[in-house]
């Protein structure tokens, strides 16, 4: 079976596959597919189409429903993304299959997508944007595969992203929380989160091999997929960016907290005996296995309630770490490196509002810089001498 590619317009290609002649009439048959993108995209679609036709698995876009396409897209592409992303995709596939699954893929319109978004009004704007992003990504791939001439989701409008001010504690609230959490099993986890600004997945994936108690340094090399909330083998993930693999120095008090936590963990290991799961995790359950996010969240909420501090998410401990550093005058570049941000711009965009006195401090700094100079007003001098402009 042969095929070729023809250029139709800017970033538009026609993929033509030669099919076997009609057995009854003997007439020539061709399969045409329009592809938006580069010539390489068109070559890939040509090869995939020929392979599917030869295997007998090719389905005409007009005969393929949205639900069938989403299932095939997930099966084909989910292996290339991280587990947390895969879980988000799967939730999105289920939602859109319920709402639009009966619609033929080739007949899907922006109006269909917009109407389906309206039926998700009971969800938060953030959840609706997340589900919309999944659908848009899936349909983008359909365009690259030559199943659609354009993406119907591009004509729909998702909920606008509202600016959400991060929720943080001040020094007194953070101290009160830690004092309350001191008697709990997850005290070291909460303390390390506030002391380093590490993400929950990074903390749950931390092993003792990543912690240098002599040098006072934590190496962030991986994270644990927090979407896996059931018993089983832990699933490790690489950091999102190169900046995510980082070295985080810690202070003497944090080191002492980790040393005491280490001693307590060794005692638990002795009690567990042969039932201990030796993953080497710093923060684990009573048998050495990974902690579940839902259990950590419940423990955090209970400590917040008992300490009488505002209830915040675990990720807000990271925000609190950054905010306390910035308010004490630590340079944003240093804070960015501790958090593992890809750019200091992310740090500034996220936390600029937590420094309300920045402009006032700039004014005072300039006044101090100019305090030694003599202020001379030429206009005032002219007024004293009685001379006007000539």
Q: How far apart are CA 359 and CA 186, in angstroms?
A: 40
Whole-angstrom Cα Rg for the chain:
30
Q: How far apart are CA 249 and CA 13, in angstroms?
A: 54
In our burial notation (b when 16+ CB lie closer than 10 A, e otherwise), range 315-347 reads ebbbbbbbbbbbbeeeebeebbbbbbbeebeeb
Would you state the pLDDT for residue 288? 92
Q: How far apart are CA 48 and CA 70, in angstroms?
A: 18
pLDDT tens digit sequence for 238-258: 887 788 899 999 999 999 999
Q: How far apart are CA 292 and CA 378, in angstroms?
A: 72
CB 262 within 8 A of CB 251: no
Q: How are strands ordered across the β-sheet holding 217-220?
A: 211-212, 217-220, 246-249
Of 301, 337, 304, 343, the C-alpha closest to 322 is: 337
Would you state the pLDDT for residue 369? 78
CB 237 within 8 A of CB 222: yes
For residue 22, give Cα distances in angstroms to 18, 201, 228, 388: 12, 58, 52, 102
Would you state the pLDDT for residue 225? 80
SS3 335: helix
Domains of the chain (ranges, CATH numbers): 3-58 (no CATH), 66-155 (1.10.150.130), 171-353 (1.10.443.10)
Q: How far apart are CA 59 and CA 71, in angstroms?
A: 14
Write the DSSP symbol of residue 390.
-
Q: How far apart are CA 96 and CA 49, in angstroms?
A: 26
Would you state the pLDDT for residue 18? 79
List Cβ neighbours of 84 (8 Å cut-off, separation of 6 or more): 201, 225, 226, 227, 237
User: Is 0.75 topped by the overall pTM?
Assistant: no
In our burial notation (b when 16+ CB lie closer than 10 A, e otherwise), range 56-65 reads eeeeebeebb
Write the DSSP symbol of residue 65.
B
Segment holding 221, helix H or strand E: none
Q: Which stretches of the chain score pLDDT less than 70?
A: 1, 20-24, 53-63, 162-165, 226-233, 353-362, 372-390
pLDDT tens digit sequence for 112-126: 999 999 999 898 888
């Amino acid at each position: 079976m042969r095929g070729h590619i023809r250029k139709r317009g800017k970033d538009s290609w026609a993929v033509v596959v030669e099919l076997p002649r009609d057995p009854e009439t003997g007439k020539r048959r061709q399969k045409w597919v329009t592809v938006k993108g580069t010539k390489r995209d068109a070559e890939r679609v040509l090869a995939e189409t020929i392979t599917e036709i030869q295997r007998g698995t090719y389905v005409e876009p007009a005969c393929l429903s949205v639900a069938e396409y989403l299932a095939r897209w997930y099966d084909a592409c989910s292996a290339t993304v991280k587990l947390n992303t895969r879980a988000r995709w799967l939730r999105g596939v289920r939602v859109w299959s319920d709402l639009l699954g009966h619609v033929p893929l080739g007949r899907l319109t922006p109006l269909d997508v917009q109407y389906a978004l309206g039926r998700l009004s009971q969800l938060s704007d953030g959840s609706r944007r997340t589900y919309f992003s999944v659908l848009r990504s899936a349909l983008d791939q359909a365009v690259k595969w030559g199943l659609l001439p354009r993406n119907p989701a591009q004509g729909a409008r998702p909920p606008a992203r509202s600016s959400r001010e991060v929720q943080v504690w001040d020094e007194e609230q953070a101290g009160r929380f830690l004092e309350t959490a001191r008697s709990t099993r997850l005290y070291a986890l909460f303390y390390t989160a506030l002391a380093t600004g590490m993400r929950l997945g990074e903390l749950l994936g931390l092993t003792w091999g990543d912690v240098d108690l002599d040098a006072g340094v934590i190496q962030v090399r991986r994270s644990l997929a927090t979407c896996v909330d059931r018993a089983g083998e832990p699933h490790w993930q690489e950091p999102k960016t190169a900046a995510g693999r980082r070295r985080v120095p810690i202070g003497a008090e944090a080191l002492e907290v980790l040393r005491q936590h280490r001693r307590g963990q060794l005692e638990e290991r002795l009690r567990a005996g042969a039932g201990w799961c030796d993953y080497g995790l710093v923060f684990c359950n009573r048998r050495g296995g990974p902690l579940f996010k839902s259990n950590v969240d419940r423990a955090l909420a209970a400590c917040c309630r008992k300490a009488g501090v505002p209830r915040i998410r675990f990720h807000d401990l990271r925000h609190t770490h950054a905010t306390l550093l910035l308010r004490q005058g630590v340079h944003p570049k240093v804070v960015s490196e501790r958090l593992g941000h890809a750019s200091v711009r992310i740090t500034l965009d996220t936390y600029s509002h937590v420094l309300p006195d920045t402009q006032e401090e700039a004014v005072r700094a300039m006044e101090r810089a100019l305090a030694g100079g003599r202020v001379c007003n030429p206009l005032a001098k002219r007024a004293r001498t009685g001379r006007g402009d000539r």
